[in-house]
Amino acid sequence: MKAELKPTAVWDLPVRLFHWLLVALILVAWLSAGKSMTVHSLAGYSVIALVVFRLWWGLVGSSTARFSSFVRGPRAILSYLRHMGERTPGQSPGHNPVGAISVLALLALVLIQTSTGLFSVDVDGLESGPLSAWVSFDMGRQFAHIHEFAFRILQVLVGVHIAAILYYAIWKRENLVGPMITGRRRFSSPVTSLGSVPVWRLIVGIAISLGLALAIARGFRV
């Protein structure tokens, strides 16, 4: 067995904060749905801000956060799948080519979940998303149905996500959760650590995401 090296930085703080805040806020949106519309929408707007930030960070963030570093073509995906059953932990930082598909699917579904909520109207027209005035009542109801259906798909995807993490932990003996909390992981051969990212990129990302979420919450009214 090879000796393990010192822990290397694999996830930056914005990615980790994004992830755990996303989990917490989706939980709040779920628990408040149909009970408190104020809490539900606040959690939902915050999720929008988080996902907008993550899309920005996927373009300008540190190496493992970037879409260009983990979104791979069919050849890389197939090659990864061929070795996925091996009982050895992976030796490269960041999302693997198959995990990348689930990351994109989760982000897309969370976007569908939140954007359909914005146009949703409940059955008596009292609880509505901030953009529901842009559509007819019937259309608003359609959005509400898609909103509910999207959540069922999201639950399935999250189930698969957690099952995959358990598979890595139990079968491949690779703890993925620890690095998503601490940001660091040990490897048995040297890997490139995360480089630093200029702080202005973080500030611009926060400004864009908060600005957009606020504008949406106000229905784009000044």
Binding footprint of ligand HEM on the chain (CB under 6 A): 15, 18-19, 22-23, 26, 29-30, 33-34, 40-41, 44-45, 47, 54, 95, 99, 103, 106-107, 110, 113-114, 117-118, 120, 122, 127-130, 144, 147-148, 151, 158, 161-162, 165, 176-177, 180
- Judged by beta carbon, residue 79 or residue 145, the one nearer ligand HEM is 145
Helices (H), 61-126: 67-70, 74-83, 97-119
- Judged by beta carbon, residue 162 or residue 203, the one nearer ligand HEM is 162
Helices (H), the chain: 13-32, 37-60, 67-70, 74-83, 97-119, 137-170, 177-182, 199-217
In the complex, minimum distance from the CB of residue 175 to ligand HEM, in angstroms, rounded to a whole number? 8
- Judged by beta carbon, residue 34 or residue 211, the one nearer ligand HEM is 34
Phi and psi at residue 132, to the nearest 5° = -70, -20
- Judged by beta carbon, residue 182 or residue 188, the one nearer ligand HEM is 182
Closest to 109 (Cα-Cα) out of 13, 218, 22, 220? 22
